[in-house]
Amino acid sequence: MIQNILLADSGTGNTRDMMKALMQIPRIERARLTILHAVTPESTASAMTESWEKGGKILAEALTELGLNPGDVNAVLREGEPKDVGGKVADEIDADLIVMGSRGLKGLKAILGNSVSQYVFQLSSRPMLLVRDDLYAIKPIRRMLVAYDGSDSSQASLDVAITLARDVEGSEIILVHTVNKLTSKLEEALRSAPDNDPVLSDAISKLRRQGINYRCLSPEGKPGARLCELVDRLNINLLLIGSPDYRPTIAKAMPDLDKLLGGSLGDYVRVYADCPVLLTRMEA
């Protein structure tokens, strides 16, 4: 259940349009919204004052653009580095979902470019909806693609998709289990009916119980490239993917360099998928 949403608003990008699309979903419309703007520390008092004033205007503009009353929203203006403030406020409000912009930087560029979204996701266990700044349009959420492999994190993604789709007329969830190489036996089974993929059986049962329209696909190839291809071909509005946390407990407070350097599926789709990406995090 999504009850507390944190919208990190830098004053640029497409996060407000993403929030508008989310607010069309009945269950999201009832959630408590916190809008955060982080004020970066400045070297002089006058510059700091100017930054605070600019931050206040950004929050006011967000309320107006989203058509919200100030009394219905928790507007937070907080001094600090955006990458640090985002995670702290998410913990303070116990956010069920973080909505944040992304410049789509990849690998080493994300590190050298001080990527806020990458940093926050690496250190957070909360679902994060990333919206690339260069997406030309955010569409109403009707058609969702869930990358599913039976893992706990992919099941968490499916649960979020069900929450979003349950009360939306005409919604559809596309379950995708990418396979590096199909065996002849599995290929024969999938040719007769895509629902025959054994990995998808539990997910299919859950969707049927909820009465949600669905489709199943089990394409062959590299998961990242295939998912991004399907996003384009099927006109997907939202891609949901699990991102398990394999770090030992002692390293939970440190960024995962393998992911930061682009070695994960989540990092790949974050950069290349031409739609918003919702990443769920579960400990492996």
Span 143-165, mean pLDDT? 93
Give the pTM: 0.85
3-class DSSP assignment, residue 178: coil
Secondary element (H or E) of residue 98? strand 97-102
Structure token pair of residue 236? 């997907």
CA 69 to chain centre: 26
Residue type, 252: K
Dist CA 192 CA 169 (whole Å): 29
Give the contacts of 159 (CB within 8 A, at least 6 positions apart).
Answer: none
Question: What is the residue-wise DSSP string for 140-173?
Answer: -S-EEEEE--SSHHHHHHHHHHHHHHTTSTT-EE
pLDDT digits (tens, 9 = 90+) for 66-84: 998 888 899 999 999 888 8
Residue 210 confidence (pLDDT) above 90: yes
Look at 262 and 223; give whichever has higher pLDDT: 223
Residue with tokens 């979204």: 117
Query: What single-letter DSSP state applies at residue 245?
Result: B
- Residues 6 or more apart in contact with residue 140 via CB below 8 angstroms: 21, 24, 237
> Coil, helix or strand for 126?
coil
* pLDDT 10s digits, 84-93: 898 899 999 9
- On whether the CB atoms of residues 264 and 225 are closer than 8 A, the answer is no
Average pLDDT over residues 134-161: 92
Identify the three-state secondary structure at position 93. Answer: helix
Q: Which amino acid is at 272?
A: Y
Q: What domains appear along the chain, each with residue ranges and CATH number? A: 4-132 (3.40.50.620), 143-280 (3.40.50.620)
Q: Which of 11-15, 59-63, 99-103, 188-192 shows the lowest mean pLDDT across its residues?
A: 188-192
Q: For residue 230, what pLDDT is reported?
A: 94
* SS3 letters across 217-244: ECCECCHHHHHHHHHHHCCCCEEEEECC
The span from the CA of 14 to the CA of 100, in Å, is 9
- 119 and 33 Cβ atoms separated by less than 8 Å: no
Mean pLDDT across 6-14 = 91
Q: What is the pLDDT, as a whole number, of residue 136?
A: 76
Q: What pLDDT shows up at residue 244?
A: 63
